[in-house]
Structure 1
């Protein structure tokens, strides 16, 4: 199944770079694809114009396949009282930074499901692969992607989600273990979460599904890729391993903080559970309740991070990272893919 799926993708190596919205760039995705892996673009935080520009930039830098990723979160009903209470909770922190808190929160991201602007971008630009996080597109959107010959993948944190992904007609499922950095792809953030490890989830999905499974979460070295393939995965998706690459958008503090490791899962930064490097922002998040819906809560965090940056106050970044963060190896993305491939073959 592994060789068949990689052949369909026209990818040489079972090494996928996680899309990582806000971190991955066209330069990174192209470098990974040019080295034989599958590069990824995280476009869920962009508007349609910027998303299209990113896809076209990547296409100019590589003639190899790459993946465009979008968010398919359900749009929750807003709770004005909860949002106002959240702003009030953050006011002392804004005051300490000599900044004003927002008067209200904005819904800063649209879901792929809620409008067709992003679908139209995909149909115009035709990336080889499109992947989804937090859920699935509408059936009519999936049908349009299939008719266009675009391969699709979606993240699952459980067998139940993976079965929905298979039933929707996706070409592969990404098994996102609890060690993964960034946002959990869980469909319902208020529902139960078994918090399965990447190994346990991958093995379970491989045993129960006919769909190819891509393992993701806590994978940093070629030996990790070899283990993922031994669990039955067709490929391994790595994100944190690429954050320290020069093609990344990570700032200097983010890069320095990676090497010390230490992560926590929190919903208080964005409104959805996400794994982040521990710092002053995650300290403030600890014990938080009545968190506003995603992505409204993230609007406040982004403004808080901007205020901290303006005040030259360190420790307030949303530094998404997996449990293997301390194992990062700063080097160009293409060289990292080559090293990972050599390590995998040796393992």
Structure 2
């Protein structure tokens, strides 16, 4: 429970809410491609922490989204970065094989296809966005897919920024704690979308939240935010009981009015079941949890080695965009968690406040 027997928030929750600062220790997950400034603002205005995803975006787009969000709220919100290496080595033969697979898919959909070589790819790194974050005086920065370099941590801390890292294992959490972050998101295996894992010398962590959370809470010195499979007062209270100072929810907002998900995406989420999701690299080249569809199955059956994240994500971009625009379920990444069926229609702010009322903060 978040409440002590005196009716006050537990000390760990107070530490988090005072640090951010927000009224409630409830965070809306940053979901790139789905989360909008309107969604972020709705949660912020309700007393929670909205999270604006800008991973991989240009500095100009990053600034635009921050300003659009600030037009809708004067309250704190987090800006979420991707901190992976964007120029990882990739084999041209691997790219060629994948493009040979994707070309007939494009032709079937009537989408133009242009073969690319390694030199044709260009990606933004989170360092390209730092100047914008500093100019816009962003106060809360969360990040995933890796860790910030020490010089960046020092710079951001000197400007008063609060830093929130993402861990999928105890080892990752300890590294983030030693780095000097202010809070850590413990992402359970149930969570939708991309895994935040960043250690390449070990197998992909596959630890459920209820097992992962108490271990991370016992291993680090900063507040821990639980993420993965949380959707109502019961699951949230369970997370607080196991040591969470806060919770982060994503899938519950996938079908809300402010979500940028297409109608077919929203319907897929609402109609999903407990076994509807699976981990895949098909769309992006990085492990992510989503609702099974035709493209995922075709990619699995192909047996092809999938190029690294940024390359595969770029190669499937046109297909995914077309699928989103034309409500083609089999050609879009339907990122969703294992509890996604509990997503609700309606306004994000109303969904959030309904949850808060049941939690009796």
TM-score (norm 2): 0.90
Query: Does 1:44 pair with 2:59?
Result: no
**Pairing of 1:152-301 with structure 2 (within 5 A):** 152-188=163-199, 191-261=202-272, 262-287=276-301, 288-301=303-316
Deviations 1:80-130 (A, max 9, x none): 111111111223323332444330165464231xxx331111111122210
Equivalent pair of 1:223/1:343 in contact (CA under 8 Å): no
**Pairing of 1:36-185 with structure 2 (within 5 A):** 36-75=47-86, 76-104=88-116, 107=121, 109-112=123-126, 116-185=127-196
Q: Indicate the larger mover: 305-314 or 73-82.
A: 305-314
The whole-number CA distance in structure 1 between the counterparts of 2:280 and 2:200 is: 11
- CA 1:65–1:292 in 2, change beyond 3 Å: closer, same or farther? same
CA-CA distance at 1:204 after TM superposition:
0.7
CA-CA distance at 1:312 after TM superposition:
6.8
**Secondary structure of 1:295's partner?**
helix
CA-CA distance at 1:184 after TM superposition:
0.3
The whole-number CA distance in structure 2 between the counterparts of 1:263 and 1:293 is: 22
Deviations 1:127-178 (A, max 9, x none): 2210011011211111111001010001101111111111111001100111
Equivalent pair of 1:157/1:196 in contact (CA under 8 Å): yes
Query: Does 1:340 pair with 2:340?
Result: no
Consecutive unaligned residues of structure 2, counting only runs of 5 or more, are: 1-11
The whole-number CA distance in structure 1 between the counterparts of 2:141 and 2:321 is: 31
The whole-number CA distance in structure 1 between the counterparts of 2:105 and 2:257 is: 32
Equivalent pair of 2:13/2:246 in contact (CA under 8 Å): yes
CA-CA distance at 1:334 after TM superposition:
0.9
Deviations 1:175-224 (A, max 9, x none): 01111111001104674123000111111101111111000011111222
What's the C-alpha RMSD, in Å, of the aligned pairs?
1.8
CA-CA distance at 1:243 after TM superposition:
1.1
Q: Indicate the larger mover: 329-338 or 91-100.
A: 91-100
Consecutive unaligned residues of structure 1, counting only runs of 5 or more, are: none
The whole-number CA distance in structure 1 between the counterparts of 2:196 and 2:221 is: 21
Deviations 1:256-313 (A, max 9, x none): 1111211111012101000111111222222444110111101122222245567774
Equivalent pair of 1:108/1:295 in contact (CA under 8 Å): no
- CA 1:124–1:4 in 2, change beyond 3 Å: closer, same or farther? same
Deviations 1:20-58 (A, max 9, x none): 111111111111011010001000132111111111221
TM-score (norm 1): 0.94
